[in-house]
Amino acid sequence: MPISSAITALVPDVRAWRRELHQNPEINYDVEETARFVAERLRAFGCDEVKTAIGRTGVVGVIRGAKGPSSRTIGLRADMDALPIEEETNLPYRSRTPGKMHACGHDGHTAMLLGAARRLAESRDFAGDAIVIFQPAEEGGAGAMAMIDDGLLDQFRIDQVYGMHNWPGSPIGQFSIRKGPLMAAADEVTIAIEGKGGHGAMPHQCIDPVMVGAQIVTALQTITSRNVDPLDSSVISITQFKAGSASNIIPQTAWLNGTVRTLKPATRDRVEKRIREIAAGLAEASGASAEVTYRRGYPPTINHGNETDFAASVARKVAGESKVDANTSPTMGSEDFSFMLEARPGAFIFIGNGDSATLHHPSYDFNDEVLPYGMSYWVELVETALAP
């Protein structure tokens, strides 16, 4: 259906907010000015409640519908933090802060949810509570978990929760979603190898940790090809290999570090187990030892079935049947909205950002043409879910 005139009228203001946020990026939990920007506008819109400092610097607004009493409550989440990247655009609203930029579109996410909050506060054409959630520290800081730990879901009686992320390469007005795993778990593995150092000309007197490390790197790739169901997915990328100090010295130790991505909890468990077994076994076979440190990060982002169907139906109302892919392929990127989906039913959806630079690239910019589609999705989702 066409974008409503009420949403279209909001676009100039929302675009201005987005660009102001882009000029003033903040990272991790240090988003005090962004949080203040958000809270001031939520109060100006007439939100029934505005709470700050949830999850350290998160902001929550409550908008109560005017279509009769209801105990139903729906949560809408946007992330606020930027990245430690030097911007390489020549945009008039480029980052003013050296070494920081909105390279993932969280400025757009925040602006779209603010625009939706303004419209919902004006119309209140629903029965129940719409909870708008502005989260810090998505980029590695687990801000979603911090907000949950601060009582977000229980304090505001959130029954369902929904999230959205822009997607470069997908056309403007296109939505993509799927039931089940949509994004991967993101874990980190470190393997410390202890050998026996010595002269490079006398390897028989040594236990070479570089050779052991090389065997481990190669063998770890067999986990995906031989231990994971071919219809499932996993990625093991060893991205750092450190050892040695001179060309004629076999070092005493070597150190490997990398990332592990999986889509299913059971696969995550199996991959971790096999990494430990392979590292220990290959080291022992060479007379060395290997200590594996496996750090679990964000879990997989797993959409709930009924809520995914509902989110897709809302997207079709906004964009049309042909512009919604309800069985999109999973991505091995990660997202801490996964913590919210572990705690409440809900769904995460991608919205096309057009032909832009990829996420986390210094030339990336959120496409302002996305704004009316994102706002419309949020408003339609609330008014449909909380219809009297």
For the record, the structure tokens of 43 come out as: 């109060």
pLDDT of residue 1: 66
Nearest CA to 158 out of 379, 344, 370 is that of: 344
Q: Classify domain 185-296 at the CATH topology level.
A: Alpha-Beta Plaits (3.30.70)
- Please compute the mean of the pLDDT values over residues 311-337 and round it to a whole number: 98
Among candidate residues 79, 87, 138, 159, the one labeled active-site is 138
Place of tokens 């070597």: 254
Task: For residue 360, give the DSSP letter.
Answer: T
- One-letter amino acid for residue 94 of the chain: R
Catalytic, 269? Answer: no
Average pLDDT, the chain: 97
Judge if 5-183+300-385 and 185-296 fold alike in CATH terms. no
182-207: per-residue pLDDT in tens? 999 999 999 999 999 999 999 999 99
Among candidate residues 81, 129, 208, 307, the one labeled active-site is 81
Measured between alpha carbons, how far is 228 from 10 in angstroms, rounded to an integer?
48
Question: Which run of H or of E encompasses 134?
Answer: strand 129-135
Q: What percent of the chain has pLDDT over 70?
A: 100
Residue 281 contacts residue 293 (beta carbons within 8 Å)? no
Q: 70 or 299: which carries more pLDDT confidence?
A: 299
163-176: per-residue pLDDT in tens? 999 999 999 999 99
Number of H helices, E strands in the chain: 10, 16
- The confidence band for 70, taking pLDDT boundaries of 50, 70 and 90, is confident
- The confidence band for 305, taking pLDDT boundaries of 50, 70 and 90, is very high
Measured between alpha carbons, how far is 199 from 249 in angstroms, rounded to an integer?
5
Alpha helices by DSSP H, 64-173: 106-123, 143-149, 152-155
Catalytic, 325? Answer: no
Q: Is the pLDDT of residue 69 over 90?
A: no
Residue 50 contacts residue 59 (beta carbons within 8 Å)? yes
Task: For residue 3, give the DSSP letter.
Answer: P
Place of tokens 């892919």: 325
- One-letter amino acid for residue 76 of the chain: L
What spatial distance separates the first Cα and last Cα of the chain, rounded to whole Å?
Answer: 22
Question: Which run of H or of E encompasses 254?
Answer: strand 253-262
- Please compute the mean of the pLDDT values over residues 305-309 and round it to a whole number: 98
CA distances for 314 relative to 133, 276, 331, 347, 370, angstroms: 20, 44, 22, 12, 16
- 5-183+300-385 CATH choice from 3.40.190.10, 3.40.630.10, 3.20.20.70, 2.102.10.10: 3.40.630.10
Measured between alpha carbons, how far is 117 from 39 in angstroms, rounded to an integer?
11
Question: Which run of H or of E encompasses 161?
Answer: strand 160-167
Q: Domain-by-domain residue ranges, the chain?
A: 5-183+300-385, 185-296
97-143: per-residue pLDDT in tens? 999 999 999 999 999 999 999 999 999 999 999 999 999 999 999 99
Residue 143 contacts residue 87 (beta carbons within 8 Å)? no
Residue 288 contacts residue 214 (beta carbons within 8 Å)? no
Nearest CA to 186 out of 252, 239, 253, 222 is that of: 239
| Residues ≥6 apart with Cβ < 8 Å to 154 | none
